[in-house]
């Protein structure tokens, strides 16, 4: 879900990282398992490292 939200698609603009993280956090317990969201967000630095490593070739920016 995080990748879908933060990646630009022909039909939508990419969400900012903090907006996507906030959506996941706010949806924990209703749409998403709160334990999974907690684990995902607790590894934020690693999430961003992975996102940068595997971003689409045509993305012209890297996330810090």
Tell me: the pLDDT tens digits for 40-63?
999 999 999 999 998 876 554 445
Q: Does the pLDDT value for residue 64 go beyond 80?
A: no
The model's pTM: 0.79
- Which residue in 48, 52, 15 sits closest to 61, CA to CA? 52
Q: Give the C-alpha separation, 3 to 20, whole Å.
A: 9
- Say what the pLDDT of residue 62 is: 46
pLDDT digits (tens, 9 = 90+) for 18-40: 999 999 999 999 999 999 999 99
- Say what the pLDDT of residue 59 is: 54
């Amino acid at each position: 879900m995080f990748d879908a939200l933060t990646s630009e698609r022909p039909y939508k603009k990419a969400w900012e990282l903090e907006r996507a993280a906030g959506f996941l956090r706010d949806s924990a317990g209703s749409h998403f398992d709160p334990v999974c969201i907690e684990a995902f967000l607790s590894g934020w630095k690693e999430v961003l490292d992975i996102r940068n490593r595997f971003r689409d070739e045509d993305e012209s920016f890297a996330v810090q």
